[in-house]
Structure formats: C-alpha cells, structure tokens
A = this chain, B = another copy of it.
C-alpha cells in the first residue's frame, strides 16, 4: 500500500501531478511549485531536483485543460488572415508559431475556410477555439475583427493607422516601391505603368501611393495605371490595357508577383520581349518569382519576420506592456526581368 507509484504499471494513462508527487514522495503542491519554476526559497534544492527527475522519468506533462481552467488562460492565440490560400501567409504563420512555441503558446489560424470569411458558428459549440488569449490580425482593418470578443489585438501589415488602438507591425512597403522605381529610373525608364491590385487593404494603398510619389520625383517621369484582381487572368487583361496605349510604358510595376505573371502573358501575346522591350517588376517575392522566365525582379517581404515580430508584440501586450509600432525593412531583389528601355 505504501509502495506508491511502483508496481502500478497496468495504468498507462498520462501521469498527473499527483502521480509525480507520490512517486517523488512529496505533495502535489510541491510538484506544482517546482515545475512552475517558483520554488526558490520555498522548497529545498534537493527536493526540487528529485521532483524534476521524477517528472522527467514519468514523462509528466501538465494537463492543458486543467491548467487553462485554473489560470483562466489558454496559451493559444488566433492568427486572423484574409485568405488562407495565399503563399504569403504560410511564412507568417511559421514565424508566429515559432516564437509562440518558444513561449509555450499555440497558434490557430482563422478562418478555416476561404468561402465564408467571417461566419461565427450557429451552435454555441461550433467555434471551439473561442477561448483565446490574444489575436494577431494580418492585412485587414480593426473593424473586420468584430465578433472576436475583446481579446488583446496586434495588427500586422495593416498600416500604422491603427497604431493608436493596437500595436502594429508593418512592412516598409513605401521604401520597397521607391527602390523599384529608383532601380528602373536608373536603368533609364521614364514611362512607367502601375498594375494596381484592386484590393482594399492598406498595403496596396501604400504601394500605389509610393509608386505615384516616386515616379513624380523622376525628372520627366510619367505614370499610367490599371487595376485588376490578384490573379493571372485579371492582371493580363489590365496589362493589355496599358500595353495598348499609344505611348505605352517601358516599365510595368506590379503590386504582386502573381500579377507580373499576367503581364508576362500579355507581353508575349503582343510579341514583346521581357526585359528587352518591357521591364516588369513584382512585389512579395513568392515562389512564382523564380519560376517565371525570365526570373522576376521583385521586392522581398520578410513575411516570416512579420509573424515573429507580431507574436513578440502580442506577448509583450499580454504581459502588460505597450509595444512600439514597428516597420520591417524590405529588400529589392534584382533578377532578369528588368533592363534599360528599348532605344
């Protein structure tokens, strides 16, 4: 009867803290104290060590549900994104989940479903992950977060506008677009076209504004613009409108790499060589940029770092801090789709 912990091999369920306590010959609270890391000055070092070893030996892991219930915290954060089917958000998730894991947090993604982006469940049990410690929202406005309760929020890639309300982490997209235009202008281009993404998000408004300002600063620079959805077909159509102009641009600046793929198609259809007859640039530097032929000059966005910094900011916020707004530097990646304009 007193041989606690030994000989009870039949029960292979996960050990509880009480099992650890019994096996180590101490009480449950001692186990809790030791494993919680706040035992110094309250438990003798020898006991602490013994407890740690027993826990290790038994393969003890605290029961998350009990922990959450007691602490009123879930150690789970929600990553809200506009669409899960974009190559951009994978790295964001990776970055967030990586630093989250380092702090004992899990990350769950919302929405699970592109089709109906904001449908709260009908039954009260339909959205099990309602219990959440905080929210990271990427590429959207604060308004879009109605229905998520009053959890602490960090806004990612949503512009500094929300900075008063919530901590923000953004890319320095203006710098990126300025670098693109400077690169092109340095090559000798003067007639610019901008293929704008017809998407109402801060980042695209910022890209458009930056292009306009940058071209304005190029002596003799002119800018024409066409907008389209972020898919190959729409981008191709928009590009055709630009390329059909009497004084057609010699360089097309795209809001997105995928749109650049559409430009390639439009150019080929007109018999225009890239980059000989037409220079093209993208934005984001997703996989497709290197799959295109010629490879695409574009702007690399540190998407993973966005997730990391966002999670760090959220952690700071949860800890009672007031994280500063941050803007992540971007990088112009010059490949083979840009060259001096035709003579």
Docked Cα-Cα span, A265 to B126, in Å, equals 48
CB of A75 to closest CB in B, whole Å? 5
**Do residues B63 and A69 form an inter-chain contact, with CB atoms below 8 A?**
yes
Chain B residues with Cβ below 8 Å from A232 are 290-291
- Asked whether A104 is an interface residue with its Cβ less than 8 Å from the other chain, the reply is yes
- Asked whether A87 is an interface residue with its Cβ less than 8 Å from the other chain, the reply is yes
Q: Which of B65, B108, B114 contacts A106 (CB 8 A)?
A: B108
Chain B residues with Cβ below 8 Å from A102 are 126
Among A55, A90, A112, A290, chain B packs the most CB atoms within 10 A around the CB of: A112
A108-134 at interface with B (beta carbon < 8 Å): 108-109, 112-114, 121, 123-131
A84 to chain B: closest residue by CB: B90
- Asked whether A101 is an interface residue with its Cβ less than 8 Å from the other chain, the reply is yes
**Do residues B97 and A113 form an inter-chain contact, with CB atoms below 8 A?**
yes
Residue pairs across A and B with Cβ atoms less than 8 A apart, 6 shown, are A63-B131, A64-B129, A65-B66, A90-B90, A101-B112, A101-B113
Contact indicator per residue, chain A 94-107, by CB within 8 Å of chain B (1) or not (0): 10111011101111
- Asked whether A47 is an interface residue with its Cβ less than 8 Å from the other chain, the reply is no
Q: Which of B63, B87, B100 contacts A112 (CB 8 A)?
A: B100
**Do residues B65 and A69 form an inter-chain contact, with CB atoms below 8 A?**
yes
**Do residues A93 and B66 form an inter-chain contact, with CB atoms below 8 A?**
no
Binding site for B on A (CB under 8 A): 35, 55, 60-66, 68-69, 74-76, 84-85, 87, 90-91, 93-94, 96-98, 100-102, 104-109, 112-114, 121, 123-131, 232, 258, 261, 264-265, 268, 287-288, 290-293
**Do residues A121 and B94 form an inter-chain contact, with CB atoms below 8 A?**
no
The verdict on A74 contacting B65 (CB below 8 Å), with A128-B106, A129-B106 known, is yes
9 A-B pairs with the lowest CB-CB distances in the bound complex, closest first: A97-B112, A65-B68, A261-B291, A65-B69, A104-B125, A106-B129, A64-B131, A75-B128, A106-B128
Chain B residues with Cβ below 8 Å from A131 are 63-65
Chain B residues with Cβ below 8 Å from A55 are 124
A55 to chain B: closest residue by CB: B124
The verdict on A35 contacting B124 (CB below 8 Å), with A93-B84, A112-B100, A113-B101 known, is yes
A76 to chain B: closest residue by CB: B128
CB of A260 to closest CB in B, whole Å? 9
CB of A34 to closest CB in B, whole Å? 11
**Do residues B64 and A66 form an inter-chain contact, with CB atoms below 8 A?**
no
Chain B residues with Cβ below 8 Å from A101 are 112-113, 121, 126-127
**Do residues B91 and A85 form an inter-chain contact, with CB atoms below 8 A?**
yes
**Do residues B128 and A104 form an inter-chain contact, with CB atoms below 8 A?**
yes
Docked Cα-Cα span, A268 to B62, in Å, equals 58
CB of A82 to closest CB in B, whole Å? 13
The verdict on A66 contacting B69 (CB below 8 Å), with A90-B85, A104-B128, A112-B98 known, is yes
